[in-house]
Amino acid sequence: MSHQTVLVLDFGGQYNQLIARRVRECGVYCEVKPYTTPMAELKAMEPVGIIFTGGPNSVYDPKSPQVDPAIFGWGVPILGICYGCQLLAHNLGGRVTAAQEDSAREYGKTETFFNTGCKLFKGLPEKGVSWMSHGDYMEKVPDGFALVAHSDACPNVAICDESRGFYGVQFHPEVNHTENGTGMLRNFLYEICGAKGDWTMGDYKETAIRQIREKVGDGKVLLALSGGVDSSVAAALVAEAVGSQLTCVFVDHGLMRLNEGDEVEVAFQKWDINFVRANAEDLFLGKLAGVSDPERKRKIIGEEFIRVFEAEAKKIGQVDYLVQGTIYPDVIESGAGDAAVIKSHHNVGGLPDYVDFKEIIEPLRMLFKDEVRQLGRELELPEYLVMRQPFPGPGLAIRVIGEITKEKLDTLRLADFIFRDEVAKAHLEGTMNQYFAVLTNMRSVGVMGDGRTYDYTLALRSVTTTDFMTADWTRIPYEVLDRVSVRIVNEVPHINRIVYDITSKPPATIEWE
């Protein structure tokens, strides 16, 4: 099944993936392409609309990213956002200059007034807050364009030439700070581009299953199953397609969260696949004994993962296809087609060259994370897998500070479970993007009952983020933190003190090691 497509031309802005996600959330398929993509390639995709993204450059700089002028005679509607708006004006006879006065530069939340007679703002409030981030100014608007939004500081916040389907906004409708921003994007898609809204995960599932069957035929398929969202959804999709031709190798290194290995195994019992659970806890803990340095931990775990996976792969014999859980942000960030190489090493810790296969299958490579989760629901994966928290490849090994022992891991597993359990009971999961416990190597004096204790300090960590490149610590209500603290010190041996990490990223990282 083919879908209507909107192209997002990338000029280097920080919100480019977010634009694409918002378009897809509106039920319209889109792809992000670099601004250097040849016109012939763009035309072959037959888009119903084009969005120019923002970017850090100035359009009047000779070295700034430009676009093939032929795109303006194509007859396809264009929405320019921030730099994209200025690019539109610059190419069509307007004039863009550096703002000479601070009042003409706008950053952050700005009260904006809209002409709702313009299709882009149809049915939306005439006034709202928009998120500005521009230091350049449209000194002259191109002939044929109307001014359709303004702020106190800027008379030309938005422009349009409705006869040609050209629209430009100086603000960012894709970010949550812009009120009714999604409504504006929806208007562009449906009122201006004539989109039908034919992008659903149900349709994607059926199409992907058919394509996988056609590609694989009667071949053998191998997947390294980590238990994370991406690999689990990829496994479920391929299982639906080829059943017993798929072998999933789940390396249980003993460094997972409470009951996690069992949950993953149970989740895949409904499919007729070869599920191999390599129970390698003793092997991994033996290799990690006495090791405190986090980089050495990572290296040891990566190397042992390869050896265990390789041993299981050899038992299977010749494999025709290797499945990877590459998702769309990996493809975009790789710049062009290199994601298979990047993810093969990322997903399985550095797959050895002599695990031989004909081709890589990446059934999720055009999906964003939220779409992967929705596809998981379509495949009837349990919610605990679909909404699984991000989890580092080395697992709890880098959440136990210092030397690792089974006793420390068991202590951390239970404490981490209590933290997540109380977050769930308070219905706070949607307010934080990653949360976990860290067993520090610091011990301190405490009093429990009538006795003196000398036990470990546990740190709790929770962050809110959109991209994991930066993150803010989560303001968890005190009463929830209190319940977590009381439960852990009463239910978990060897912990007598709880601290909460209130450091954002930067300067800290999300994980401690």
At 349, is the pLDDT very low, low, confident or very high (cuts 50, 70, 90)? very low
Q: What is the pLDDT of residues 500-513, one digit of tens each?
A: 999 999 899 899 98
The stretch 118-132 carries a mean pLDDT of 93
- Res. 337: pLDDT tops 50: no
- CATH C-level class of 399-500: alpha beta
Convert 268-300 to b/e letters by CB count within 10 Å (16 or more is b).
Answer: beebebebbbeebeebbbebbeebeebeebbeb
Q: What is the pLDDT of residue 135?
A: 63
Average pLDDT, the chain: 88
Q: Which residues fall within 8 angstroms of residue 140, CB to CB, at 6 or more apart?
A: 89, 94, 95
What architecture is domain 201-386?
Answer: 3-Layer(aba) Sandwich (3.40)
Q: Which residue has the higher pLDDT, 417 or 2?
A: 417
Beta-carbon contacts of residue 174 (< 8 Å; ≥ 6 apart): 15, 18, 19, 22, 81, 181, 185
Domain boundaries, the chain: 5-192, 201-386, 399-500
Task: Count Cα neighbours of 478 within 13 Å in the Cβ-side half-sphere.
Answer: 0
Beta bridge partners of 463: 434, 473
pLDDT band at 347 (very low <50, low <70, confident <90, very high): very low
Annotated active-site positions, please? 82, 172, 174
Q: What is the mean pLDDT of residues 464-469?
A: 76
* C-alpha closest to that of 279 among 295, 262, 291: 262
Give the pLDDT of residue 12.
87
Q: Do domains 5-192 and 201-386 have the same CATH topology?
A: yes
What percent of the chain is predicted at pLDDT more than 70? 92
One-character DSSP codes across 283-302: HHHHHHTT---HHHHHHHHH
Q: Over 70: is that where the pLDDT of 341 sits?
A: no
Distance between CA atoms of residues 188 and 196, nearest Å? 12
CA–CA distance, 59 with 456 (Å, rounded to integer):
57
Question: How much is the pLDDT for 35?
Answer: 93
pLDDT digits (tens, 9 = 90+) for 136-165: 778 888 999 999 999 887 888 999 999 999
More confident of the two residues 177 and 424: 424
Tens of pLDDT, residue by residue over 73-106, are 999 999 999 999 999 999 998 888 776 554 445 5
Q: In terms of pTM, does the model score above 0.85? A: no
Is the pLDDT reported for residue 350 higher than 70? no
pLDDT of residue 107: 60
Measured between alpha carbons, how far is 28 from 431 in angstroms, rounded to an integer?
27
pLDDT at 326 over 90: no
Q: What is the CATH number of domain 5-192?
A: 3.40.50.880
Please check whether residue 256 is in contact with residue 405, taking contact to mean a CB–CB distance below 8 angstroms: no
Instruction: Determine the pLDDT at residue 187.
Output: 98
